[in-house]
Copies of this chain bind each other. A is one copy, B any other.
Amino acid sequence: MIFHDFIRDSEGWQTIRRDLVFDNPHLRVFDTETRTPSRPDGCHWLVAHRKAAAVVAPLTSDGKYLLVRQERVPIRAAIWEFPAGQIDENREHDERAIRETALRELREESGHELALDGELIPLGYFFPSCGFTDEHSYLFLARGVVPSASGDEQDENEAITECRAFSRDEFRSMIAHNEIRDANTLSAFARLCALELF
């Protein structure tokens, strides 16, 4: 996995023009003109830029998955999902910063941390909506988590109303029945299944 220069021009890709058309601390939107391998004359595309994120699947030593219930304003609903959060933009080239973000979100959102013999296992990354945004999220399995001595330390802008441990079967059933419906948790589960870690 390449953590450095994540999205850049290479092999047939060339940014011809990139005009900032919306600017906000949470979102920047660019009107772009880009040459691609199959469109050497360039194509016009709107690109939303967001910070990268880290997502962590916390597994307790007795084989349960921790999920947090979070109010999500854009969809006007509270849903069960894995802890996740954005990576400081200036540090995304640094693998340690990505791991620190995963562990910080684990602690802040679920009030848990890796046990002494716990492991943070990378599960690759994914693009939430690659037709419109460069946003990408790094996925991890935190195998062996325990309650943190300091408890949770929720970000004041977030609204996590609950954290609960679910058995493997409960977790899978929540995915099957559309109760789990965010790309972070679904993509982490997809990688766990494909890697035979679930």
Question: What residues make up the interface of A, taking CB atoms closer than 8 Å to B?
Answer: 1, 7-10, 13, 15, 21-22, 24, 26-27, 29, 32, 34, 36-39, 43, 45-48, 50, 71-79, 124-136, 157, 159, 161, 172-173, 175-178, 181-183, 186-187, 189-191, 193-195, 198
Contact = CB atoms under 8 A, between A and B. Distances in A.
A74 B47 contact: yes
Nearest 5 interchain pairs by C-beta: A124-B178, A175-B194, A183-B183, A176-B194, A45-B73
A101 B47 CA distance: 24
**A interface, by DSSP: helix, strand, loop or mixed?**
mixed
Given A24-B46, A38-B159, A127 B176 contact: no
Given A22-B21, A27-B29, A74-B131, A38 B178 contact: no
Nearest to A160: B38
B38 A161 contact: yes
A137 B195 CA distance: 25
Contact of A75 (B1, B73, B127): B127
A182 B75 contact: no
B129 A133 contact: yes
Contact of A73 (B34, B78, B183): B34
A191 B11 CA distance: 34
